[in-house]
Amino acid sequence: MQEKEAGMLGRVNHIAIAVPNLAAATASYRDVLGARVSPPQALPEHGVTVVFVELPNTKVELLEPLGEGSPIAAFLEKSPSGGMHHICYEVDDILSARDRLVAGGARVLGDGTPKTGAHGKPVLFLHPKDFFGTLIELEEV
């Protein structure tokens, strides 16, 4: 097992891109870029449908809105053609990472309780204003 340096972050798990049309985005990554893509997966708890583009060193998550009040819908209103939505980093222990971040002044979105993410593992999101305009997702591995 590779030891992490002083920080809590592991590798980049995925970079998420919000898209207005998941089928078209999937076809573009698959047919134009030649990437391997997963079947669509609905995540009602997060208000999105996702497809993962599998790369040798990480994944790209394509997201489209699912249901009323999807956080992706508001994002796409501001950026109708889509764009980078968040970056997901792996952590060994999501609860200790959360506690360390909160103690350092970072804001965790929601009530601070991890939800189950697309990979069936606990995830949390950190407020983008605390990280230079970037929404950060943490996933326990």
- Residue positions annotated with a catalytic role: 137
Classify burial at 51, counting beta carbons within 10 Å of its beta carbon; exposed 0-12, middle 13-18, buried 19 or more: buried
Three-state DSSP at 110 gives coil
CA dihedral 41, 56, 21, 40 (to 10 degrees): -20
Question: How many residues are recorded in the chain?
Answer: 141
